[in-house]
Amino acid sequence: MTQKIKAIIFDLDGVIVDTAIFHFQAWKKLANTMGFDLTKAQNEQLKGISRLESLDILLEIGKTDAVSNEEKQQLATRKNEWYRENILKMTPQDILPGVKNFLEELKKADYKIAIGSSSKNAGTILERIGMKDFFDAVVDGTKITRSKPDPEVFLKGAQELNIPPEQCLVFEDAESGIEAAKNAGMKTIGVGKPENLPKADKVIPGFKNINISIIENS
């Protein structure tokens, strides 16, 4: 028998806020400084995973090898500085359409809600958009040692909420995140285009016109 969903875990970048575009712009700028380009399709591989793992994939795309660990740290720092210039300008207006209403509906219906993000900048973003104290738990890149598709981030979220994984549902915009949630034994709803999220149980384009019946019917 399927278990009743009691907790919802949200990825942050590309689900609650459109920071996925800022990550893309910063990685593309870094690629350009190294003499190659990054397409939107290639960028899908960078979503959801840690900063240094993303850099390794970027270097592979640009066929740039023989980069020392020290140079990698410098490249990742440069990317992060460009990225932070954008997130520091964010305001509550940057919460994606429909998200706040949906979250408030979930709270009213007594679902537990959490953030499960690979980002070390999640705290800054939540503060900028006025949602620092909104969630029952926040698990981010500062609390995990293995990034998505490893289930660690979502299992920690479930643990902090005190809800068994099989009663959790995850919203994710990255295929690595969908895999992480599945590896944790959780239900998944992809946010984005179905062709980018083939493993999700269900895919929605965003939260506009979405209400909690989507959870009740999962």
C-alpha span between 54 and 39 (Å, rounded)? 14
Strand, helix or coil for residue 33 = helix
- For residue 36, CA distances in Å to 6, 62, 85, 162, 180 come to 46, 6, 23, 46, 30
CB closer to ligand BG6, 6 vs 83: 83
C-alpha span between 178 and 186 (Å, rounded)? 9
Q: Could you say whether residue 46 binds ligand BG6 (CB under 6 A)?
A: yes
Residue 54 site contact among Mg ion, ligand BG6, none (CB < 5 to 8 Å, cut-off depends on kind): ligand BG6
Among 176, 171, 179, 177, CA closest to 203: 171
What six digits make up the tokens of 165? 């994984």
Least Cβ distance, residue 23 to Mg ion (angstroms): 9
> For residue 62, which amino acid is it?
G
How many C-beta atoms lie closer than 10 Å to residue 1's C-beta?
3
CB closer to ligand BG6, 118 vs 167: 118
Q: Could you say whether residue 45 binds ligand BG6 (CB under 6 A)?
A: no
Binding mask 144-183 for ligand BG6 (x = CB under 6 A): ------------------------------x---------
Element (H, E) at 204: strand 202-204
Interacting positions 107-126 with ligand BG6 (CB under 6 A): 117-121
The yes-or-no answer on residue 140 being catalytic is no
Binding mask 176-195 for ligand BG6 (x = CB under 6 A): --------------------
Stretch that binds ligand BG6, among 48-56, 89-97, 107-115, 159-167 (CB under 6 A): 48-56
DSSP 16: T
Q: Could you say whether residue 141 binds ligand BG6 (CB under 6 A)?
A: yes
Active site residues: 11, 13
Rule CB under 6 A: which residues touch ligand BG6? 12-13, 23, 46-51, 54, 80, 117-121, 141, 174
